[in-house]
Structure 1
Amino acid sequence: MAAAPRFRKDAVATPQGSGETGASDGKHPVDETLPPLRMFTSGLQHVAAMYAGVVAPPMIVGPALGLSAKDTAFLMGASLFTAGLATLLQTLGFWRIGAKLPFVNGVSFAGVTPMIAIGKGEGDDALPIIFGAIVVAGILGFLAAPYFGKLVRFFPPVVTGTVITLIGVSLLPVAFNWSQGGNATAADYGSMKNIGMAALTLVIVLLMRKFLRGFLQQIAILLGLVAGTLIAIPLDMTSFDALRNADLVGFPTPFHFGAPQFQVAAIISMCIVMLVCMTESTADILALGRIVGRPADERTIEGGLRADALGSALSPVFNGFMCSAFAQNIGLVAMTKVRSRFVVAAGGGILILLGLCPVAASVIALVPLPVLGGAGIVLFGSVAASGIQTLAGAAMEKGENALIVAASVGVGLIPIAAPQFYHAFPEDLLVVLDSGISTGCVVAILLNLAFNHLGGRKGAAAAPAPEPVGVLH
């Protein structure tokens, strides 16, 4: 197992006014703690960035399985609660579990379509069957994590840069959909009012990043979301219904929908989803490691994947779905330059409280999707920019690296540019093919092996990874 890279104090300079003490006490910025207020507000910003992504899968799966509005709301609270638990596993960790990076976990979108397919026609047994399959897939993923950890040597800059770029580009359509209103069937979807609000939020965030300094500059996204929401209230773009109807306290009762059931077909389907999640999480861990200036080694990846899998296996106990990395929060780390894992752990604690307090969760839900979309454009674009920055050090002039990037990005963009491209393929394959991150990652790895490792061409491989830059500039 490769040794963990030594942190160079001069390689990752602490941004001025960031609130981090840099190397003054010998700690890496990832392991530093911030003052309580900054810890809370920075953690809250992570929650605001991921909230819609956490509650969206249960909002889709619940109605598709015929659940009532009350049961769907219960699933949403459970998803917040389990996302918080999984995030604490990643950031704090124990034994050899957890990447111990500012890594946010939540419900994976990769499982939405397979879960709906599994639950159709099963009636009251739908969720128990889904939960049983997730438990088994999580356990198998936990056992497979050490083998995935050994793949780190197959992720040189030409591969990681490509995948990081695809992560950002793949997330941008989510921000565009939010900017239009989020619901394609709504009468005002794509209206000038929605897009205008998204554009205004984007401008507010950019102005705050330009003119604010120190801590206020770091929480520009959060301030932009607050400002956009306040502007949206008199424009009747914010609904208070969820807040009025929410209970003050609500605990996700274990096995609320019944004890898990185990069906072979469902288990196989969710195991495929687990492999997809592990592939994407590996890329995300590598991306985040570069951004924070602590490049991920085999042990880091292994710990991160174990936390993913353990979080997924425990999630169904509290009525949650499969958990994986949230790439949008990588963009937030890159943009704010706050690299402390304890900040994200604070965000995990906030998620747990939101899951236990429906009223508090409803306050976050007040943020209109167009407002969230405007901020999301900056967040997700930051991820893509980080990938481009990594590719700048990938020796594109040597060997066939430019060809690797071209083919991988091209294949990875297929699900984004042509969503129906694979419509004639078997449904089980769509779990992988519909993820541009997964397909682009696989293509990049295979082409890197073919051009830079096989046939005695190892010397033409991508240049060594550049010195960690820590964050975007």
Structure 2
Amino acid sequence: MALRSTSSTDGGSSQLVHPVDELLPPVRLFGTGLQHVAAMYAGVVAPPLIIGAGVGLGPGELALLISASLFTAGLATLLQTLGLGGRTRSRIGARLPFVNGVSFAGVAPVLAIAKEHSPKDALPVVFGAVIVAGALCFLAAPYFCRLIRFFPPVVQGTVITLIGVSLLPVAVNWARGGESPGAPGYGSVHAIVLAALTLAVVVLLNRVLRGFWQQLSLLLGLLAGTLLAFPLHLADFGAVRDAQLFALPAPFHFGAPVFDPAAIISMCIVMVVSMTESTADMLALGRIVERPADEAVLAAGLRADGLATALSPVFNGFACSAFAQNIGLVALTKVRSRFVVAAAGGILVVLGLFPRLGAVVSLVPQPVLGGAGIVLFGTVAASGVRTLAEAGLESGSNVLLVSVSLGVGIIPIAVPDFYDAFPPALRTLLHSGISVGCVSAVLLNLLFHHLGPRARAAQPSPTP
């Protein structure tokens, strides 16, 4: 485990500080924090855009919903990185460089809930269900985290690889223009060339730059790609001109929450899926930053997810969960300080309060994000492969565990409508390749290494 020493001003004994707890100088802190925001911005604003369109919101209220998502994502990220409480067992927040934002897992169930209610009543019903689901996550955290004993390196490596692989189609879609097939400009030569140029710039900058500037290679690549986009007519300042300068979140702007049993059940299922993915993400991040996530850290992180989710609807936001793309950024830049991600959380809060600043960040076109995303998500997958290399794949049972879990995890990625004939509650789980692969890996690990006389014989003897 890498530790860095800091000397006291009086020349006394030095103090060892883990890179996760290292406080960087202000310029580096802001620059690397802004890079995290740039990497996640599209993922934060996409769910409210989809949901707002689904419930028939006008441009003004849609902008408010986006600002609310940025604001609540910032609060959730601050909660995860800085934490509340001193005692590890009861702490809220993983205190890792862990980014939180609006969960994509909840988009489809939210749209399904909206179809059952009038546009005026849909969001209060959704917000009521999200509050209850967040409370469930908070209360279940100390029990759910005990699953860590079923996450040895072979399971962790499988899940980390799946996280990267499942995100790569998102980057590919961004590279094609980020809109649905058939939309103007989707899949155009200009969009794909812009994505390829951005990818090339990020790789070259990472190769030729050193130190702090190398750590900013992704942000510089996004800036270069955006500048290239203007002559190709793939970016404009219209969104900046039309955005409000300042907007304070109004609690329950769309009405007081309504607690509908069917909606609550649906969102609780989504929350269990999000808890599974957050657990996998924290395990992955713990290995990357060389501070393994134990039961206490997982429980603290899940409590933060639950509390942020329960409070988010107060400010017109949705369920909060981990953003795996930022794990790739930590692995790429090797900047492990949680205060960098806390700075990103602060920037998100400011963007939520000043929509015009958020619109400036949104100038980055989807193809540019796609080119950078291939680097980010590929880095996550590579981290998983590295973990698998350390996991003892000379064992036939481990090879079978990895092959089956990767196979079933890739099914919903390769064929998104594969499970469309299943009941809606099951589809919520099955449409997430990360969750399906994670459940498969845990069950196969249980079968091969925890059940039966051979598995018991392989277990180490208890220490007297």
1:115 aligns with 2:105: no
Question: How far does residue 247 in structure 1 lie from its aligned partner after superposition?
Answer: 1.0
Question: How far does residue 68 in structure 1 lie from its aligned partner after superposition?
Answer: 0.9
Deviations 1:69-102, CA, capped at 9 Å, x for gaps: 2111111100000000000110000121000000
Contact 2:4 2:16 in 1 (8 A): no
Cα distance in 2 for partners of 1:340, 1:139 equals 29
Contact 1:156 1:462 in 2 (8 A): no
Cα distance in 1 for partners of 2:331, 2:399 equals 25
2:230 aligned residue: 233
Contact 1:49 1:328 in 2 (8 A): yes
1:9-408 to 2 correspondence within 5 Å?
9=2, 25-95=15-85, 96-120=91-115, 121-183=117-179, 184-408=181-405
2:413 alignment partner AA: I
Deviations 1:379-406, CA, capped at 9 Å, x for gaps: 0000000000000011111250000000
- Structure 1 residues 328 and 159, CA gap change in structure 2 (3 angstroms): same
1:458 aligns with 2:455: yes
- Structure 1 residues 344 and 461, CA gap change in structure 2 (3 angstroms): farther
Question: How far does residue 24 in structure 1 lie from its aligned partner after superposition?
Answer: 6.5
1:101 alignment partner AA: L
Contact 1:164 1:287 in 2 (8 A): yes
- Structure 1 residues 24 and 122, CA gap change in structure 2 (3 angstroms): farther
Question: How far does residue 349 in structure 1 lie from its aligned partner after superposition?
Answer: 0.1
TM-score by length of 1: 0.92
Contact 2:20 2:337 in 1 (8 A): yes
Contact 2:190 2:232 in 1 (8 A): no
Deviations 1:122-179, CA, capped at 9 Å, x for gaps: 2211000000000001001100000111111110011000000000000001100000
Question: How far does residue 429 in structure 1 lie from its aligned partner after superposition?
Answer: 1.1
2:8 aligned residue: none
Contact 2:125 2:258 in 1 (8 A): yes
Cα distance in 2 for partners of 1:128, 1:457 equals 54
Deviations 1:16-57, CA, capped at 9 Å, x for gaps: xxxxxxx96301000010000000010000000000000000
1:437 alignment partner AA: I
SS of the residue 2:101 aligns to? strand
Deviations 1:313-334, CA, capped at 9 Å, x for gaps: 0000000000000000000000
Contact 1:118 1:266 in 2 (8 A): yes
Cα distance in 1 for partners of 2:123, 2:17 equals 45
Contact 1:415 1:433 in 2 (8 A): yes
Contact 1:154 1:445 in 2 (8 A): yes
Runs of 4+ in 1 over 6 A off after TM superposition: 459-463
Corresponding pairs, count:
446
Question: Where does the alignment leave 5 or more consecutive residues of structure 1 unmatched?
Answer: 1-7, 15-22, 464-473
Cα distance in 2 for partners of 1:264, 1:178 equals 36
Contact 2:4 2:17 in 1 (8 A): no
2:66 alignment partner AA: M
Contact 1:43 1:346 in 2 (8 A): yes
SS of the residue 1:256 aligns to? coil
Cα distance in 2 for partners of 1:122, 1:461 equals 58
SS of the residue 2:93 aligns to? coil
SS of the residue 1:457 aligns to? helix
SS of the residue 1:413 aligns to? helix
- Structure 1 residues 129 and 200, CA gap change in structure 2 (3 angstroms): same
SS of the residue 2:75 aligns to? helix
RMSD of aligned Cα (Å): 1.6
Deviations 1:273-328, CA, capped at 9 Å, x for gaps: 00000000000000000000000100000000000010000000000000000000
Cα distance in 1 for partners of 2:142, 2:453 equals 28
Cα distance in 1 for partners of 2:301, 2:260 equals 28
1:437 aligns with 2:427: no
2:136 alignment partner AA: L
Cα distance in 1 for partners of 2:439, 2:268 equals 17
Aligned-residue sequence identity (percent) comes to 67
